[in-house]
A and B are shown apart, each in its own frame.
Chain A
Amino acid sequence: MTTASDPVIVAKDIRKRYGDIIAANGISFEVHRGEVFGMLGPNGAGKTTTVEILEGMREADSGDAVINGVNVKDDPTAVKAMIGVQLQQNAFFDKLKLSEIVDLYAKLYLAKVDPVEILSRVGLDHRKKAKYAELSGGQKQRLSIAVALVNDPAVLFLDEPTTGLDPQARRQLWELVKNIQKNGATIVLTTHYMEEAEELCDRIAVVEHGEIIALDTPDALIDQLLATGFKPEKRVREATLDDVFLNLTGRDLRD
């Protein structure tokens, strides 16, 4: 069985094609308990595909995804019961109040929770009577995190949680993620914002064309880059993670 030191997530040689497009081309990594693991990459790199295979939302062509000792292929329902998921595109019943949405989702996991308490964790308790459709973008993202927390998940997956948010909302969400980590959750987070990865993640996998092209702590990645003799263009100070990212993936516009 699993012990505390075992990785909570093991991804082994995950592959997935969509016709000619190779969305995941042999992705392998491990995530440890209590870690915030970032997947960093441009649009279309294969982040969502990888994460959704781990969540049991999509089936891999080959390879294994193991969460808490359970292979997703063998028992997707058991895996779904253990994890919390924020999809890249989230939508909830728009005629229900926030407290009703949280309550409903809690019941889907047979979890006993106080919806208002969950909402207060993401700072939405004052909006508990509002309908989903009435929320701002940042509030919607926070609600989807609240819903992902109803089953006290062992692993929380956040797929681009801050995309489309303004800087204030983004920083607010960072605080939220840090708090959730402090409470002991393991978090997998995808982003294409460098400062976000640097701010939140213990380790980062840089993904490009369905492959992990670098995997380390943010500091180590920067150090490795500097060790190659890299000089940031403008500032003569130390490089930022932005530089690591652009150096690894190129500067071309994507999408």
Chain B
Amino acid sequence: MKIYLALTVASLKMYFRNKQGLFWALFFPLLIMIIFGIMNFDRYNSPDVGVYDGANNDASRLLIQALRGSDEQELLNVTVSSLEDIHDELEFGSSRAAIEIPANYGASGQFAEIKVTYDERFPQERAVVSTILGQVTDAVFKEIAQVPDEYRVENAIGISESIVVGQGQGFKAWLIPGIAAMAIMQTGLFTVVFTLVRFKSQGVLRRLKATPIGASHFLAGQLTTKAIVVVLQTYVLVIVGALVLGVSVGNGRIGAWFDLTILALLGGALFIALGLAVSGWAKNEETAAPIANIITMPMMFLSGVFFPLSVMPDWLTRWSQYLPLTYLADGMRAITVEGASITTLGSELVGLGVWIVISFAIATKLFRWE
């Protein structure tokens, strides 16, 4: 215990004396967060709407195309996805309306009821979407039915509207937990890789091997240090991000901080273990750096840090949903943006757990003193 404490204290001192490490841990993620935040992707000219295409036939595709508008005049920024997703996106503020096209849409002689849900907090967008939807269904109906006005059955396409109160705070709030998750990945992987590989190539680790302590002592000290750093860094990023970008964290729920801490520790453990695995394997910085980059770079873009996974093609998200950073970012986002409690995060916790076990197995297998 004493040995472990001594190693932890020593490596904490070393960490905070390393200005470069602090830069990567804090300034870089903050910079990205603020730049992306002030770019304000919320201010699209055309409102974002999610469409669920229950019919998936020529008629429904025509309708969606019509909702999108033409190149000269974009009407709505349409994302087609599952029923659940479009409602989630509305709920959490990344879209302004959820439009459900029923299965019998376009079937001849049937009454098709399109359901639209709006976020109460955005009346202007609601009016825009409502108007566009009315005009478009009107026009589309005439076109597919090929009937003159006077024979048109007034309500062959009906629109029913409902309203929810979304809780989302838009892109800014969405961005913060993702960046904090990314920062956990960067700190976990890079600071571990660079300190350990440097220690190894310098022979510092070999010198430690000459003492009676085991590798586990040393690694435990490293792990604790980095876990402390990761949690502090997450607090700083989320607090500064929330202040600068003016959003609330977990809808003001105090327990959100506890949940965030747990997730940061889990994420930290995962990426620290991956870092240990890379540093166990790599002989020097030259081989370690590319490996660490190969692991982190794709995840930065495939795990929904800078933009939602829903904007990416399905064949990609089918895989990227299993990435460790996806689980971490989704989990942290659920807590800070959706106001969820950690107890409701099923797949995220399982995903993180599985990755932690895998990474530690690899790390212990690959670790070498020299």
Partners in one complex: yes
Query: Which residues does A use to contact B, with CB under 8 Å?
Result: 55-57, 77-78, 80-81, 85, 87, 89-96, 100, 103-105, 107-110
Most chain A C-beta atoms within 10 Å of own C-beta, residue among B10, B204, B209, B212:
B212
Report Cα–Cα, A104/B212, bound state, in Å.
13
Is B142 in contact with chain A by the CB < 8 A criterion?
Answer: no
Q: Which residue of B lies closest to A56 (CB)?
A: B210
CB contact between B14 and one of A57, A81, A95, A103 (< 8 Å): that residue = A95
Question: When chains A and B are docked, how far (Å) is the Cα of A78 from the Cα of B202?
Answer: 26
- The list of the 8 closest CB pairs from A to B, nearest first, reads A107-B6, A91-B203, A91-B202, A95-B14, A81-B212, A85-B210, A80-B212, A91-B204
B206 and chain A: residue at smallest CB distance: A87
Which B158-201 residues have a C-beta within 8 angstroms of A?
Answer: 199
> For residue A77, which residues in chain B have a CB less than 8 angstroms away from its CB?
212, 214
Taken together as a complex, chains A and B put the C-alpha atoms of A82 and B203 apart, in Å, by 22
Check if A110 sits within 8 Å of B2, measured CB to CB.
Answer: yes
How many chain B residues touch the partner (CB < 8 A)? 22
- Collect the chain A residues with CB atoms within 8 Å of residue B17's CB: 95
State how many angstroms separate the Cβ of B233 from the closest Cβ of chain A.
19
Cβ–Cβ < 8 Å partners of A87 in chain B? 203, 206-207, 210
Once the chains bind, are A92 and B212 in contact (CB under 8 Å)?
no
Given contacts A91-B203, A95-B17, contact A100 B10 (CB under 8 A): yes
Chain A's closest residue to B3 (CB) is A108
Interfacial chain A residues near B146, Cβ < 8 Å: none
Q: Which residues of B contact A91 (CB under 8 A)?
A: 199, 202-204, 206-207
| Residue of A with least CB distance to B214 | A77
Whether, in the assembled complex, B152 has its beta carbon less than 8 Å from a beta carbon of chain A, the answer is no
Given contacts A80-B212, A93-B10, A95-B18, contact A110 B199 (CB under 8 A): no
B61 at the interface (CB under 8 A from A): no
- Closest residue of chain A to B218 (Cβ to Cβ) is A108
For residue A82, which residue of chain B has the nearest CB?
B212
Given A81-B212, A95-B13, A110-B2: A104 touches B207 (CB 8 Å cut-off): no
What residue of chain B has the Cβ atom nearest to residue A89's Cβ? Answer: B203
Q: Decide: A109 near B211, CB < 8 A? Known: A95-B17, A96-B13, A100-B13.
A: yes
User: Residues 1-34 of chain B: 1 if any A CB is under 8 Å from the residue's CB, otherwise 0?
Assistant: 0110011001001100110000000000000000
A89 near B211: Cβ-Cβ < 8 Å: no
Minimum CB distance partner of A94 in chain B: B202
Known contacts A87-B210, A104-B7; A93 and B199 CB within 8 A of each other: yes
Q: Is the CB of A96 within 8 A of B10?
A: yes
A31 to B210, CA, bound (A): 20
CB closest residue in chain B, given A77:
B212
Partner of A107, one of B2, B13, B14, B204: B2
Q: State the CA gap A128–B211 with chains docked (Å).
A: 22
Residues of A within 8 A of B295 (CB): none
Q: Of B10, B199, B214, which one neighbours A104 at CB under 8 angstroms?
A: B10
Q: Is B228 interfacial (CB 8 A cutoff)?
A: no
Q: How many angstroms between the C-alpha atoms of A104 and B3 in the bound complex?
A: 8
Q: In the complex, what residues of B have CB within 8 A of residue A103's CB? A: 6
For the complex with contacts A78-B212, A92-B204, 13 further pairs of A-B residues with Cβ separation under 8 Å are: A56-B210, A81-B212, A87-B203, A91-B203, A93-B199, A96-B13, A96-B14, A104-B7, A107-B3, A107-B6, A108-B211, A110-B2, A110-B3
